A = this chain, B = another copy of it.
């Protein structure tokens, strides 16, 4: 059976690179062939899997420099129809692409806001004169480069190869260990829901006007000896000061300890959603880029 994976397009985004790396893993370990499908936004990619149009979706969830991808968390909570199948961590190296031969002639730099932020200090130091312009994806930024040597774009070096664009400066991210965690999501009603794994992700809201309410769920994890690898608050959107909490736990929700903790959580949260138990895969972007290269004649429009 062919697996279809939705991702934030167009072709050349970091999410596609992560999807290619994940496909390699699927093909090597499961012997399944994979088709990637580009969508114009993260919510639309997630919706495609919720509606059964694609088997899986891959979405960025957290970057080591910029933090949580709020659209992903908010959409996951709103849909309540998707489960996490895997987490994929991939190193992110940004290149500065431009037809210019000298930094001093560059007047504007286009990229996705996350990529601009991840290169903020480099840009302030090396291109103080340039306007920074946000685009919806790192690939969309490349549209502005054609026949114009006064602009630059930030994207992966893989995208530069894919679209045959010159790289002016390599590795411009402020933090050399910059990496992004992606989640591979599946529909809630698939047969694979009972997989075991090392991590479990939950979201919960707390009873309103209840001082110290956050302490109770955290105390459940501490007493159970469950390590919290991440906590992120998001507004409920009802009123200022009301939050949802997204937590990643280092535990299997199907284990005895995990099940007991989940039962206790029901007593101290207002609503609680279990996004599933899964394992984490480390992705190699250079292997993925090499895979893409062999397909590039078909893949490019």
Contacts and interface: CB of A to CB of B under 8 A. Distances in A.
A63 interface: yes
Number of copies: 2
Contacts of A228: 211-212, 214
A186 interface: no
A241 interface: yes
A113 B65 CA distance: 19
Contact of A211 (B70, B71, B227): B227
A100 interface: no
A125 interface: no
Nearest to A63: B235
A66 B236 CA distance: 9
With most chain B CB atoms within 10 A of its CB, the pick from A132, A212, A241 is A212
A237 B175 contact: yes
A67 B67 contact: no
Interface in A38-85: 62-68, 70-71
A217 B138 CA distance: 39
Nearest to A177: B239
A196 interface: no
A219 B215 contact: yes
Contact of A67 (B65, B89, B221, B235): B235
Contact size class for A? 35 or more
A64 B181 contact: no
Given A134-B136, A218-B214, A222-B215, A230 B233 contact: yes
A243 B222 contact: no
A135 interface: yes
Contact of A135 (B89, B134, B212, B234): B134
A71 B240 CA distance: 19
A238 B194 CA distance: 34
A270 interface: no
Contact of A240 (B62, B211, B225, B234): B62
Contacts of A71: 117
B221 A218 contact: no
Interface in A187-236: 211-212, 214-215, 218-219, 221-222, 225, 227-235
A165 interface: no
Contact of A237 (B64, B70, B132, B211): B64
A272 interface: no
Sorted nearest first, the 9 A-B pairs with minimum C-beta distance are A134-B134, A211-B227, A64-B240, A212-B222, A215-B222, A67-B235, A65-B237, A215-B218, A67-B234
